[in-house]
Amino acid sequence: QVQLVESGGGLVQPGGSLRLSCAASGIIFSIYDMGWYRQAPGKERELVATITSGGTANSADSVKGRFTISRDNANNTVSLQMNSLKPEDTAVYYCNANRRVVHLQYNYWGQGTQVTVSS
**pLDDT tens digits, residue range 30-63?**
999 999 999 999 999 999 999 999 999 999 999 9
Q: Which residues of 4-18 are buried (b: 16+ CB within 10 A; e: fewer)?
A: bebebbeebeeeeeb
Mark residue 112 as left, alpha or beta (left: phi above 0; alpha: psi -120 to 50; beta: remaining).
left
Stretch 12-33: mean pLDDT, rounded?
98
CB-based contact 79:95 (threshold 8 Å): no
**pLDDT tens digits, residue range 58-100?**
999 999 999 999 999 999 999 999 999 999 999 999 999 999 9
